[in-house]
Amino acid sequence: MYLSRTARRLLAAFTTIVVFVLYFPLGYVARLSVATSRGFGRPRGFSFDAWSRTIDAPGPRDALMNSLLVASEATAVALVLGTLAASALTRFRFFGRHTVNLMIVLPIALPGIVTGIAFHSGYERLGVDLSVMTLVAAHATFCIVIVFNNVAARMRQLGTSLEEASADLGADQLQTWWYVRLPMLRSALLAGGLLSFALSFDEIIVTTFTIDGGFKTLPAWILENMFRSESIPIVNVTATFVVLAMIVPVYVAQRLVDSTPSRG
Amino acid sequence: MGRGLGRDLGLTRTPREGPGCAALRPLSHQISTTMSSTKRVSTRRRVARHVAARPWLRLSGVLGPPLSWLLLAYIGALVALLITSLHQEVTVGLITRRITAPGLDNFRRLIETPVYRSVTVRTVFAAVAVTVIDLALALPVAFYMAKVASVGRRRALVILVTMPLWAGYLVKTYAWSTLLNPESGFLREFVGATPGYGIGGSIVTLAYLWLPYMILPIYAGLDRLPDSLLEASTDLGGRAGRTFRSIVLPLLVPSIVAGSIFTFSLTLGDFYVNRIYGNKTQFIGNTIFSNFSANLPFAAAFSIVPILIMVAYLLLARGAGALEEL
């Protein structure tokens, strides 16, 4: 469609402003983390003092380890279940397929507080004490859809010809899975896994309702310390660290997903 | 785009089912009989052959584990939520106990108490406002990304827009609370005005938080929209505005609905933004959260409200073919 040069420039300018606004708050916290001034006003001075204090502080470090543990366990479960679900929904037609599709999407389509309260009620009914496992189970449930989306998209795109060829050459189902399907899905699995890891790593709402009080993930630690004025420099540093740590896996995942750009 | 639920049937046929593959069957059968005549068929082969001949067995192999997980963990949890919501917490003097005889008292209280009604209306209003703001911001950005920017810049923008999605929900809320601070925040100092910590501040923050969720599906939808359609419209004399209204927008509906599911649902259930801002504004989530430890059955009953709203929304979205876009 024909757009005047002015229109194109306006769109470019608008996009630039929006992207700038998306990053501004993150940059602002990063700036606060190396400021010598206290409080939320204009950040002044420059020092890594808060960073070195944070590295020595046990709270954020333990919380980081906990978050890494929960996110990897939830991702492992989600990778297996999400891949199986994607394979069922793209390679088979069966009664209730749309309902299953809806059920996979539901944990992220419903507000997090609903998922959280639901899991909490479920555990209470069953008499299960909240623990790392209860938290991982809840996280895995909403991570499935992330893996599912990535893998299902890739499987639709790949089509079935190579799998058929494998079967025609005498491979059984397991061999086809192992030698044909999984290698072709490698980048989709990596992307889905990284995004699901990131989602779990950052999650706080479902976590609030399914976490054992003594166990702190990184967001739970940030939340607890956000309102303590003496912790604020450390919170600034931890928050900046979370953003920086998140950027690498998400960037890698994006490059993997985006390997085949198209223009209609 | 025109790929609604289940319309991608061409890809769903597996090698051994469907009429198109019937011709292959005798051949593979032949091969395996030749093989079995030369050496004894291993158990594994026999199992594989048994499974291959029965699509439902293969289907239950791949569908079984995820389906059981979702049914047991997730649907089970939702059922538990519903059961809990029918119970009641009764305080007599200092002792609180739960009455487990099912009843609709919690729901009656929800409907009859004006405060809860206004909390619900306020939350839905905020969810609509956030969705509209995000849509207004996302359309030009997504259009620029998909149809104007060069390939290199487009790639960079997709990554730039996606990354904040995954980075620190709390961090961003926290960052906005510093920016919005009515006394010393950035907006007060440099812009001169701030919406502060009221509902305005919450809506601005939530619109900021969920914006990438709106940009990305719209971008994906525009990316799939063939340029030739837009050229055809121009050739027929359609100006930019007309082409956008009559061609682009109608074809974008599923993508827009998909994006709005996220912005709407996430706002509907949010409580940390208001909580971090000092709870001056109450959303459904805040009421649920404040009842969570004291009166779980009532919290459970109130969380049925966003479920009902979202189920209605999802059913409408399914009608618009948006679920495939999620």
DSSP summary character for residue A43: -
Which residue shows structure tokens 């914006």? B211
d(C-alpha B6, C-alpha B273), whole Å: 38
Q: From first to last of the 326 residues of chain B, give the pLDDT tens digit.
A: 333 333 333 334 444 444 444 444 445 454 555 554 455 667 877 777 777 777 777 788 788 888 888 888 888 888 888 888 888 777 666 666 666 667 777 888 888 888 888 888 889 999 999 999 999 999 999 999 888 888 888 888 888 888 877 767 888 888 888 787 777 667 766 776 667 677 888 888 899 988 988 888 888 888 888 888 888 888 887 777 788 888 888 888 888 888 888 888 888 888 888 888 876 678 888 888 888 887 888 888 888 889 888 888 888 877 766 666 55
Which residue bears the tokens 């939702």?
B78
**Residue-wise DSSP of A69-85:** HHHHHHHHHHHHHHHHH
User: Model-level pTM greater than 0.90?
Assistant: no
Q: What is the pLDDT of residue B91?
A: 66
Burial readout A26-52 (b: 16 or more C-beta within 10 A, e: otherwise):
bebbbebbbbeeeebbebeeeeeebbe
ipTM: 0.81
- Check residue B321 and give its pLDDT: 66
For A92-134, how does the pLDDT look when each residue is reduced to its tens digit (9 = 90+)? 888 878 888 888 888 888 888 888 999 988 888 888 888 888 8
Q: DSSP letter string over B28-57?
A: HHHHHHHHHHHSPPPHHHHHHHHHHT-HHH
Please name which of B32, B109, B144 lies closest in space to residue B287, comparing C-alpha atoms: B109
Q: With beta carbons less than 8 A apart as the criterion, state whether A59 and B40 touch.
A: no
Distance CA(A105)–CA(A85), nearest Å, equals 12
Structure tokens at A133: 């496992």
Contact A264, B224 (CB under 8 A): yes
Contact A226, B168 (CB under 8 A): no
The CB density around residue B76, as the number of other CB atoms within 10 Å, is 18
- A156-184 pLDDT, tens digit each: 888 788 888 888 887 887 888 888 888 88
Q: How high is the pLDDT of residue A39?
A: 64
The domain segmentation of chain B, as residue ranges, is 9-85, 106-325
CB under 8 Å to B71, separation ≥6 — which residues? none
Q: Do A110 and B169 touch (CB under 8 A)?
A: no
- CB–CB of B70 and A1 under 8 A? no
Handedness of CA B197, B203, B204, B206 (dihedral sign): positive
Q: Tell me, what amino acid is at B193?
A: A
- Asked if B18 reaches chain A (Cβ–Cβ under 8 Å), the answer is no
DSSP state of B270: -
Nearest to B167 among A2, A209, A246 (CB): A246
User: A202 and B159 in contact by Cβ < 8 A?
Assistant: no
Q: Are B321 and B4 in contact (CB under 8 A)?
A: yes
pLDDT at A74: 93
pLDDT tens digits along B158-206: 888 888 777 678 888 888 887 877 776 677 667 766 676 778 888 888 9
Residue scoring higher pLDDT (A230 or A113): A113
CA-CA distance, A32 to A39, in Å (whole number)?
9
- Among the partner-chain residues B13, B157, B307, the one whose CB lies closest to the CB of A110 is B307
Residue A182, CA distances (Å) to A40, A50, A77, A128, A160 in order: 50, 45, 16, 36, 13
Q: Return d(Cα B217, Cα B153) in angstroms, integer.
A: 18
Tokens linked to B63: 């569908």
> Under an 8 A CB cutoff, do A160 and B148 touch?
no
Determine, for residues B66 and A14 on separate chains, whether the beta-carbon distance falls below 8 Å.
no
Using CA atoms, how far apart are residues A233 and A223, in angstroms rounded to an integer? Answer: 14
C-beta atoms of B74 and A235 within 8 A: no
Q: Tell me which DSSP letter residue B275 carries.
A: H
Residue A76: predicted pLDDT: 94
Whether B164 and chain A come into contact, CB under 8 Å, resolves to: yes
pLDDT at residue number B93: 64
**Predicted confidence (pLDDT) at residue A264 exceeds the cutoff of 70:** no
- pLDDT of A243 strictly over 60: yes
User: On the CB side of A129, how many CA atoms lie within 13 Å of its CA?
Assistant: 5
Q: Considering only CB atoms, which chain B residues are within 8 Å of A204? A: 169-170, 272
pLDDT at position B6 is 37
Helix H segments across A110-231? 112-126, 132-158, 161-168, 173-175, 182-202, 205-210, 218-225
End-to-end CA distance of chain A: 13
Mean pLDDT across A36-48? 71
H helix runs in chain B, sequence order: 24-38, 43-52, 55-69, 76-85, 105-112, 114-143, 151-166, 169-180, 186, 199-224, 227-235, 240-243, 249-269, 272-276, 284-292, 296-319
A118:B80 CB<8 A: yes
Residue B225 in 3-state DSSP? coil
**B1 lies within 8 A of chain A by CB:** no
Report chain B's terminal Cα–Cα distance, integer Å. Answer: 12
Interface test with A, best of B5, B72, B89, B174 (most A CBs within 10 A): B174
Q: Which domains does chain A have, with CATH numbers?
A: 58-257 (1.10.3720.10)
Residue A29 and residue B175: Cβ atoms within 8 Å?
A: yes
pLDDT number for residue B43: 80
Q: Write the DSSP string, B204-218.
A: HHHHHHHHHHHHHHH
Confidence band (pLDDT; 50, 70, 90) for A86? confident
As a CATH number, domain B106-325 is: 1.10.3720.10
What was the pLDDT predicted at A79? Answer: 92
